[in-house]
Amino acid sequence: MQIAAYPPSERWLTIPEFPPPGWERERARRQSLRLGLHTPDRRAELERLLREVQRMDRPTALARMLYLGDDAQSLFAVDIGLVIAHDDGTKAARHWAQQQLLKGILGPVQPVRLRPSPDIAGFWGRADGEAVGTISHPGVVVVLRKAGLPTVAVDIVIKVWAARPAEVVPRIDEIASLARGVAPAGRAPASSHGFS
């Protein structure tokens, strides 16, 4: 399912599917200036991460963006996808399905309940292991369901790459806030009444 994502903050940089040559260098320069981060080290780190993230496999049915914090420890990449929900929509079935998605991506994990707004609910989990926090294995995954999406029921799956979980967890609310601006491609994000 194709996805449209509208990040809520100037801290999020959407990475195009097919960026032109030299895009990373120019984008790193402009973003660094805009955020007032003039150090060459910071710009080089941003440029390196933009290049690295573009080498990751990228299914066409996801949105990819970068979080631009104030220091090198708060740079990380995020992939957002939509997964069709095959549960019956009850609270217990929804919870079970979301936890299974988390376990399918991260392996054994302790799901943590997350409710960023009355109409969005789900879980997040953090991974353990050697490759965690690299571009080969996400360090944190968030699975949320948004009430009232104008199609079949879907879970929003947000995978966080290129940062250790300890660096990402303090920003879990900012990551979860991305769900507010997610919709199937061709449809604007919907608001709704909420979940029980």
**Domain spans in the chain, listed from the N-terminal domain onward:** 3-184
**Cα 183 vs. chain centroid, distance in angstroms?**
14
Average pLDDT over residues 20-49: 73
**Cα 40 vs. chain centroid, distance in angstroms?**
27
- For residues 146 and 191, give the distance between their C-alpha atoms in angstroms, rounded to a whole number: 9
Please, are residues 109 and 144 in contact by the beta-carbon 8 Å criterion? no
3-184: what fold?
Protein Transport Mog1p; Chain A (3.40.1000)
Q: Specify the pLDDT at position 55.
A: 74
- For residues 1 and 82, give the distance between their C-alpha atoms in angstroms, rounded to a whole number: 6
- What is the gyration radius of the CA atoms in the chain, in angstroms? 17
Q: Does residue 144 surpass a pLDDT of 60?
A: yes
The region of weakest confidence among 21-25, 62-66, 136-140, 177-181 is 21-25
Q: Does residue 129 surpass a pLDDT of 50?
A: yes
Average pLDDT over residues 41-58: 76
Model confidence pLDDT, tens digit, residues 68-114: 876 545 788 899 998 888 898 899 999 999 999 999 999 899 999 99
